[in-house]
Amino acid sequence: MTRIIFDLDGTLIDSAPDIHLAVNLMLSEQNLAPLDLAAVTSFIGNGVPNLVRLAMQARDIDLAKHDACVTSMAHHYDQVNGRLTQLYPGARIALEQLQRDGHTLALCTNKPLEPARQIVNTFDMTSLFDHVIGGDSLPQRKPDPAMLLACLMNGTGLYVGDSEVDAETAERAGVPFALFTKGYRKTPIEQLVHSYAFDNFSELAAIVERFTNPPD
């Protein structure tokens, strides 16, 4: 059977509304105007420190305050995590089917580990994943391949993600990549290196089957 590694934000869950809320609560502490959802969504993918840096730059905040702003945003996100976040349609059904079929599943996300575990627990998905690696689990973050390779546990498998960061991570790790096209990607699909692409989780089982048992 196949080991399948999933990104989280923009792949299994649409967490942008909660992240947007936390960023704007951080900005409100600076007496600054909020950012719109599209802007904050475009910042997602490279981890919280990078997201906060981009938000600060958008509101001309002195980057000397970066550490304090990261702490503030993380605090607010801990308070709102799961309030507005939703699973993408069909994601849970697909995960449960893959597990029933004997595949092993893991999470590889740049979201810090504790918020990642919190949202997985909120959606009662803890039993679906045998391993979760967050953005603070290792010294490296995606697109460095170390996180993905750690999830693979010296084996082979398929990586499922939604973004430019995920595509680069898979390419650098030498791992086949299945691109979920309804996430936070900004680059045209054809410009991202991928082995498979899908826009509905009902398609994922067939992709895994093709990966596991490629045609002659």
pLDDT in tens, 22-63: 999 999 999 999 999 999 999 998 889 999 999 999 999 999
Is the separation of the CB atoms in 148 and 159 below 8 Å? yes
> How much is the pTM?
0.94
Q: List C-alpha distances in Å: 166 to 23, 36, 135, 173.
A: 23, 24, 13, 10
Element counts in the chain: helices (H) and strands (E): 9, 8
d(CA 159, CA 185): 16
Residue 17: pLDDT over 90: yes
Residue 78: pLDDT over 90: yes
Q: How far apart are the first and last CA of the chain?
A: 18
Query: Domains (ranges, CATH) in the chain?
Result: 3-14+86-212 (3.40.50.1000), 16-80 (1.10.150)
Tokens 């918020």, residue? 115
For 135-191, write each residue's pLDDT tens digit.
999 999 999 999 999 999 888 999 999 999 999 999 999 999 999 999 999 999 999
Residue 192: pLDDT over 90: yes
Catalytic, out of 7, 9, 14, 166: 7
- DSSP-based three-state secondary structure for 180: strand
Residue 180's DSSP bridge partners are 198
Is the separation of the CB atoms in 148 and 5 below 8 Å? yes
Respond yes or no: is residue 7 known to be catalytic: yes
